[in-house]
Amino acid sequence: MSKSARKIIKLSEAEKKDPPTFRGNNGFSTDVHQRLSDKGKEYGIKEIISMPTDQIVLAEWVNLKCRYGCSQFNTNWCCPPATPDLTQSRNIIAEYSIALLLEGEQQCTNFYVNNSKKRAEQVRFWKGPLILERQLFLEGYDKAFSLVSGACALCKKCFYPKKCKFPTERRPTVESLAIDLIGTLKNVGKSTPVALDTKECFNYYAIILLD
Ligand code: SF4
């Protein structure tokens, strides 16, 4: 965990006196949701939706999109084939009961370019889920694990297949676990509009798995 990620987690006096226990069977309370939402706003996360993990849709075809048509395939530690396959993904998700869907918004202007501004945005969007994951750990959710939006951009160019530069901070993308994001959104009654112009904004999503 980087210095910047470490220093943002502060326990209140009340939390220090009465610390949570790991896996205290507390579900996902509105208090935790509120604290997470407040922190998430600092990283552009505008909404957090909790849902049972059986609402997550997994499908073989998702890997096709990674394998054919994405420049990150076989070039990044957070994308296929470095990430779990469909069977492993199903097994992993079955070990969790709650999924938090984190929704943010991004302007399309830099989507089709490869510049430092785009990378700075990617790193900011990546940081949000990771910092919330850490906060959840301190709230007693020891299994909390983030799936991020977009390939890891911590390095200007990923060192894959050579040794990762920040192995404790990398996380797999949502799609790398064969998650059909749009199908999952439909399951929770959400639709996401297609941005047809680069002046428009589009929604992006990350997921945190909890138990
Ligand atoms: S930290 Fe660097 S080497 Fe590791 S996955 Fe991210 S971009 Fe690749």
Tell me, in angstroms, the distance from the centre of ligand 1 to residue 197's CA.
31
The answer to the question of residue 9 being in a domain is no
Tell me, in angstroms, the distance from the centre of ligand 1 to residue 52's CA.
30
| SS3 call for 113 | coil
The answer to the question of residue 185 being in a domain is yes
Look at ligand 1, atom 8, and give the residue with the nearest C-alpha. Answer: 158
Look at ligand 1, atom 1, and give the residue with the nearest C-alpha. Answer: 166
Distance CA 99, CA 205 (A): 12
Instruction: Give the pLDDT mean for 196-210.
Output: 88
The answer to the question of residue 12 being in a domain is no
Torsion 95-74-146-58 (CA) sign: negative
pLDDT computed for residue 5 by the predictor: 47
Distance CA 183, CA 143 (A): 25
Look at the chain and report how many structural domains it folds into. 1
- Choosing from 1, 162, 170 the residue with most ligand 1 atoms within 8 A of its CB, the one to mutate for a pocket test is 170
Which residues, at least 6 apart from 9, have a Cβ–Cβ distance to it below 8 Å?
131, 134, 135, 138
Residue 198 has pLDDT above 60, yes or no: yes
Confidence of residue 52 (pLDDT cuts 50, 70, 90): very high
Residue 37: give the domain boundaries.
Answer: 30-209
The answer to the question of residue 60 being in a domain is yes
pLDDT in tens, 57-98: 999 999 999 999 899 999 999 999 999 999 999 999 999 999
The answer to the question of residue 18 being in a domain is no
pLDDT computed for residue 122 by the predictor: 81
The answer to the question of residue 17 being in a domain is no
Long-range pairs for 54-57 at CB < 8 Å and ≥24 separation?
A: 55/99, 55/184, 55/187, 55/188, 56/93, 56/99, 56/179, 56/184, 56/187, 56/207, 57/179, 57/180, 57/183, 57/184, 57/187
Q: And the tokens for 195? A: 């941005």
The answer to the question of residue 105 being in a domain is yes
Instruction: Give the pLDDT mean for 28-33.
Output: 90
Distance CA 170, CA 26 (A): 28
The answer to the question of residue 140 being in a domain is yes
